[in-house]
Amino acid sequence: MLNLLNHPIIESELTKLRDKRTSSELFRQSVVSIGSCMAYEVLKNLPTREIQVETPLETTKGIEITSKVVFIPILRAGLGLLPPFMKKYPKAEVGYIGIRRNETTFHGEEYYFNVPEINSETRIFLLEIMLATGGSLISAISRLKLEGAAHINVVALISAPEGIERIATEYPEIAIYTAAIDRGLNEKKYIVPGLGDAGDRLNGT
């Protein structure tokens, strides 16, 4: 299920991200700004139950979120989205998956996996800046499924149609949230027009 989130704030901040003159400092700020708009939308389907709450005046109805929520940035660019997501839901737990792109095969190779205990009810949100070939995310998703995950959501700022198609074909049950769908991939598997190397631009490397 593909969800394209558009909003004037998201689109104007994305424009700053795309601009090659944008400094790392401003790049990070824009990622946080977009992430905070996206988090609001992405978390709106969390399961809840009705509870009673005592106000100073009387008892009334409220709700509480019933599932464990885990945010997992894909190292390293995905780390940029963690602060706005944690700010929106500080009760979430955090995992980290490190996947390196093999520059010859363009396949994702896992080099780090540290994720809290998950079960089939856990709501997992994979945070990534660029959904390009989908290789890194497919690798993360298949590993999480082996760990028992059943509710995985992908959050990516910019996506290529190729990556979306690949995830949708291999894992049609997974919800993908993105702020932009770009034209496609170039011969080096970078998203075009894109924003370049998200990790480098975020970290100033």
Nearer to ligand URA, 108 or 118 (CB): 108
Report the SS3 class of residue 12.
helix
Q: Which is nearer to ligand URA, 147 or 197 (CB)?
A: 197
| Minimum distance from residue 193 beta carbon to ligand URA (Å) | 9
- Active-site residues, by number, are 101, 105, 197, 200
Q: How far is the CB of 199 from ligand URA (least distance, A)?
A: 6
Preceding amide of 8 cis, omega within 30:
no
Name the nearest CA neighbour of 34 among 88, 89, 70, 97.
Answer: 88
Half-sphere exposure of 102 (CA within 13 A, CB side): 10
Q: How far apart are the first and last CA of the chain?
A: 34
CB of 205 to ligand URA, least distance (A): 12
| 84/33 Cα distance (integer angstroms) | 8
**Nearer to ligand URA (CB atom), residue 28 or residue 151:** 28
Residues binding ligand URA (CB under 6 A): 77, 130, 132, 190-191, 194, 197-199
